[in-house]
Amino acid sequence: MNLISKQRGLTAISWLAVIAVAILFITLLLRLIPIYLEGYSVYTSMDGLKDDPKVATYPVRSLKKNLLKRLNINSVYSVTGDDIYVTRKAGKTIIEVEYEVRKTVIGNFDFIVRFQKEITVQ
């Protein structure tokens, strides 16, 4: 008969399960972190448009082109011209970027992360 006081710790199979779960979470984090860093780069690029005093007077096409250049400088390639929406209302220019990123994790298991960011320039 084994005493409970001698039955401590995890078995080898339990350790393998713990290590497998840890590896899974580390893999998920390593796949998600670059996506969110790219989203932050989109936000900072859009925020940089606020500093340009002539942004409100730019035509829509050149505004999109300007933002895409800023994004390319920051190595953001997930956003295309079709993902950028520019609306002008009551003397304000609203710039909205709405896009999604798909990242394969393991096999046919994908992450789909959607971003929507909006700034208003006067």
pLDDT tens for 18-51 read 999 999 999 999 999 999 999 999 999 999 988 8
Q: How many domains does the chain have?
A: 1
How long a stretch of residues is the chain? 122
Q: What percent of the chain has pLDDT over 90?
A: 66
Which pLDDT value is given to residue 2? 63
pTM of the model: 0.79
Question: Has residue 99 got a pLDDT over 80?
Answer: yes
Convert 91-100 to b/e letters by CB count within 10 Å (16 or more is b): eebebebebe
| Structural domain boundaries, residue 113 | 11-121
Spatial contact of 82 and 58, defined as CB atoms under 8 Å apart: no
Asked if residue 3 belongs to a domain, the reply is: no
Question: Has residue 12 got a pLDDT over 90?
Answer: no
Spatial contact of 110 and 102, defined as CB atoms under 8 Å apart: yes
Asked if residue 5 belongs to a domain, the reply is: no
Asked if residue 92 belongs to a domain, the reply is: yes
